[in-house]
Amino acid sequence: MATTDELLGNRLFQDISVLNLERVLLISEEVVFAPGTRIFEEGEKADVLYVIREGVLDLTFRFKIGQVEGELTIDSKGRGESVGWSALVPPHCYTLAGVCRESLKVLVMDGDSLLKICRDDRDFGFFLMRNIAEIVGTRMKQLQAMFIQEVQRGIKMP
């Protein structure tokens, strides 16, 4: 059973009151995925948020440049981290795919239910959306660094 202490350590729920964390736990369900499972796909409708309890989830995207196709891991998330913020932000589509590197135990939270808590408690909504903005900003910096690294290496196109 997940606890509020577990959520307190999660970046997404930073500065959220214990009372609201208890509300979040009430709309959460624990799910286990096998290694190699693709739990969501880039471009797919995002309706749930995941908090990782055990295991590692790789965030990837598929690409095609000329005749070259592949899948690139952008980031990896582990215990205490969350993925799926797209369930809370329009247009509610996942921006990356989530692939289980190993057995993965997560708390699954319905996005609409989380948004209802945001509407009911504006402080909760403010802190949650601020935390999402920080997560998105960090992701942008990671992508910029990866792009610069690739440009410096000289991307070879057929």
Residue-level pLDDT at 155: 61
What is the Cα–Cα distance from 95 to 106, expressed in whole angstroms? 19
Cα of 122 vs its chain's centroid, Å: 22
Angle at CA 31, nearest 5°, toward 27 and 36?
140
User: Mind listing the pLDDT tens digit for each residue in 85-138?
Assistant: 999 999 999 999 999 999 999 999 999 999 999 999 999 999 999 999 998 898
d(CA 134, CA 11): 9
Where in the chain are the domains? 4-111+121-153
Report the SS3 class of residue 84: coil
* DSSP SS3 for 75: strand
CATH architecture assignment, domain 4-111+121-153: Sandwich (2.60)
Cα 52 to Cα 54: distance, rounded to the nearest angstrom: 6
- Within 8 A by CB and 6+ apart from 149, the residues are none
pLDDT tens digits along 3-41: 898 898 899 999 999 999 999 999 999 999 999 999 999
